Structure formats: C-alpha cells, structure tokens
Amino acid sequence: MNMILTEESATKMDDILKSASVNDPIVEITYKDNVERYEYMAIFDQLEELELGNKLNDCVFHVFPKGFSFVQNGGFIGLYNEKKEQQEREKRQDQLTQSQIKAAKREPYLITWSVITTISTLVLAWLQFIKG
C-alpha cells in the first residue's frame, strides 16, 4: 500500500469503515463545507482503489466485507503507527551509525595516545631501573 498517510486521514478512513456494519454497509457523510467534501471524495477514491468499498456518490460509501476485516485488524491507524515506528527505528539506527563513525574517527588518536603513554611508561620504568 503506497499512499501518503497522515494520522488525521488514517483516522477518517478508519471512521468510515467502522461506521458501517454487516447489516448496514452504507455510510453517508454530511459535509460542513466544500473543503471537507473534496477531502472525503479523495478518501472514498482511496478506499475504492484499495477495494475496501465502493463510492456510490459524493457523500455515500458502500463498505465491502474486506473493509470490515481490514479495520478490525488494525486499519489505517495501525498502518500509520507501524510506519511511524519504522521511521523512528531508522532514525535511531542512523544516529547509532553516526556515533560509530565518530568513534571510528577518534580511534587513531586513541591508539596513538596509548602508544605514547605506553612508551613513556616503559622509558620511566627503564630510567627508574637504571637509577636504582
């Protein structure tokens, strides 16, 4: 399912599917204004494209059994939350990778510093041994 999904659109799509029942699969929407009307027309088109129902006209939608099953199994909110979680995992993975890159860049300096301190310690120990 390749579609742009916001939390608001996911909620509206789920609400349409949830407001229908097996006994009454028809959902009728009343619009406040033309903006809302066009928004729901686009939602109806998406639901129809996904074969979850059929748009009967600008304000009436017929939900198919597949639509009932889909919303009962998490619906669009479930998909939205999954996608959000996946994006957060990818972000954390990217942060980890960046940290590892920074650590790898510091590693040569740490190795050099370890070699210098080891040599200094050996020289001081040798000088102590010669004195004593």
- The 10s digit of each residue's pLDDT in 75-85 is 999 999 999 99
Query: pLDDT per residue over 2-46, tens digit each?
Result: 567 889 999 999 999 999 988 999 999 999 999 999 999 999 999
* Terminal-to-terminal C-alpha distance of the chain: 80
Torsion-angle region of 99 (φ positive above 0: left; ψ -120 to 50: alpha; else: beta): alpha
* pLDDT, position 109: 83
**How many CA atoms, within 13 angstroms, populate the side-chain half-sphere of residue 63?**
24
Mean pLDDT of 66-82: 94
Provide the 3-class DSSP secondary structure of residue 24: coil
Longest dimension (CA), the chain: 101
For residues 28 and 59, the answer to whether their CB atoms sit within 8 Å is yes
Are 31 and 39 in contact, with CB atoms under 8 Å apart? no
Helix (H) or strand (E) holding 53: strand 53-57
Kindly state the tokens that stand for 13.
């799509």
Higher-pLDDT residue of 132 and 108 is 108
What per-residue confidence (pLDDT) applies to 102? 85
Query: Is 35:102 a contact under the CB 8 Å cutoff?
Result: no
Average pLDDT of every residue of the chain: 91
In this prediction the pTM is 0.67
Q: How many CB atoms lie within 10 A of CB 14?
A: 19
Radius of gyration of the chain (CA): 31
CA dist., res. 13 & res. 50, Å (int): 12
* Residue 106: pLDDT over 90: no
